[in-house]
A and B are shown apart, each in its own frame.
Chain A
Amino acid sequence: MNSGTQPLLEVNNLSKHFGAVRALDDFSMVIQPGEVVALAGDNGAGKTTLIKTISGVFRPSSGEVKLKGEPVSFATPQEARDKGIETIYQDLALADNLSIGANIFLGREPMTRKLGFIPVLDRKKMADAARDTMALLDFHVSRMEAPVSNFSGGQRQAVAIGRAVYWNAQILIMDEPTAALGVPEQRKVISLIHQLKKQGRGIIFISHNLQDIFAVSDRIIVLRRGVMAGERKISETTHDEVVKLMVGG
């Protein structure tokens, strides 16, 4: 449907059943590079099942996921992450007592050698990478060694996004990224998403906040009881229409 460019992510006829419950049924979608797609729907509509199936937490019951045209199948979230699909969770998944750099490299810490033979954590590399990555997101932090608990909600959200960016995530799945934030912080996250879009990444954005959805998304997909209730271009729809799709009017 979209122009001839290779889609970043294709989801074809994806279903996920838990016993008799069809949490997701025959769902298809496409994400182009630099596109922000919002997922909306009531609680239990299947948004979470969808993103967990894409990001390797669940195995699909049927259907396929293609990344840049290639069919992929992930046994663990780590495999999805290695292929460039990163999920940014509501609760941020940061270790508050560690620095930005240490959080970006958590679980994949770089090592160097002291005196030529003692392996030690490469803190300089972590700090440098953290500074560069945060600058890429237009976030300038002076205290690189401070624990992330010292930063505000929006800055911490930026650290979580920075981690995904550093590890070269092509698809970022953001689950309610603005839910826990104050209004100015929400605006920062929205502008972060614009940055990511400019860099050609694909973003799946889950939110209950229609204002945020209309502020950043190119398209909106509404789910209801595990099936697609509708798909609209943001430029061609209204709050009212989306709400109607959500409640099934």
Chain B
Amino acid sequence: MTSSQVNAPAEGEHVKPQADHADRAKTVVQRIADLRAWLFLAVLIIGFESWSRLSFGGTFIFNGFNLQSIAIFAVAPLLLATGQTFVIISGGIDLSMGFIMGLAAVVAAHAINTFTPGLGLPLAVLLGAIVAVAVACIPGVINGLLVSRLKVPPFIGTLGMFGVARGVAFLLAGGTTVPVSNSFFATIGNGRIFNVPYIVIITAIFVLGMHYLLGQTRFGQHNYAIGANVKAASRCGINIKSHLLRLYILSAACAGLAGVLYAARFNAGAAQAGEPLLLDSVAAVVIGGASLFGGSGTIIGTVAGAFVIAVIQYGLVFVNVEPFWQFISVGVVIIISVLIDQAQRRFSGGRQDE
């Protein structure tokens, strides 16, 4: 009896400083977690810059050509990652984006070749691009219906569509690459204005639009709510089914645009265009601060994440390291990034329990 009376206030005294301490630690960890993509990027740039200066006596980052190359490297993974950001925030994942991109590249190539004789160069490109993105949206609609109406887990549903889109893309391409003969399209893919490639400008405008969509509209707000608590979102009158349908169409459209820009850059459509990029896109989103459990993530973070990957890939080529090191480095960065996320989760989880 007496001992419990003595214990009670003692515990009370202990709790407070502990809680404060956890608080401070949490904010530091959380800040690191929020900014991790930028920290990675800074570390990488400083690393490659020093390496470059020491080995070649030249600069890495203050070189216009290098910057352009990195930006061009980043275009396709960034476009996929932008759509993937929305899907991952909602608590899902879209594994079919890589081959939807390939499908769109092949369709763009065929469509532009078909339209060019009748419509002239620019109009054929415009119409071909629209057709390609529209066709890319078809697997997006199917993904959306599978996930929203038939309650198929996104991982499985989009994995199925990964196979379907892949097969259809190769069939349409006849198992090979489809060259495009339209000089306007080639100019878009490889031209530049004030040393900024057109495809980088198109991507930047698009990503800015997506940033607005996620941060400033009801669609974006509902996306966060669904990722955090789908039941709550539904009780508040958000139409989950229609949201998920639009969401997967959106991610497919991002892949479609990536496919069109790929076809422009290489002047050809190829079914395997996006094959290696799918995992890069997921990696960019995760490095950028999103949680695969849903509910968090930003487009800005994803942009940083995509640049981390692009800098690793281009940087290692630049300093002349065997390309296989790219896989290792990107893999290590993903793992570190997830570890930081979990550390942050532990801190915030501990606080909620108390």
Contact = CB atoms under 8 A, between A and B. Distances in A.
B16 interface: no
Interface in A89-146: 89, 91-98, 102, 106-109, 111, 118-121
A163 to B, nearest CB: 8
Nearest to A126: B221
Nearest to B226: A95
Interface stretch (B168-176, B228-236, B248-256): B228-236
Interface residues of A, number: 24
A97 B89 CA distance: 11
B243 to A, nearest CB: 11
Contacts of B212: 118, 120
A78 interface: yes
A96 B218 contact: no
A77 B235 contact: yes
Contacts of A73: none
Nearest to B232: A93
B29 to A, nearest CB: 14
Contacts of A186: none
B222 interface: yes
Interface string B220-247: 0110110111011101111000000000
Contacts of A120: 212, 216-217
A94 B218 contact: no
B232 A94 contact: yes
A12 interface: no
Given A97-B295, A119-B217, A92 B232 contact: yes
B290 to A, nearest CB: 11
Given A77-B235, A107-B236, A120-B212, 7 more contacts: A97-B296, A98-B225, A106-B232, A106-B238, A107-B238, A121-B216, A149-B348
Interface of A: 77-78, 81, 89, 91-98, 102, 106-109, 111, 118-121, 149-150
CB-CB nearest 4 A-B residue pairs: A107-B236, A95-B225, A107-B237, A93-B232
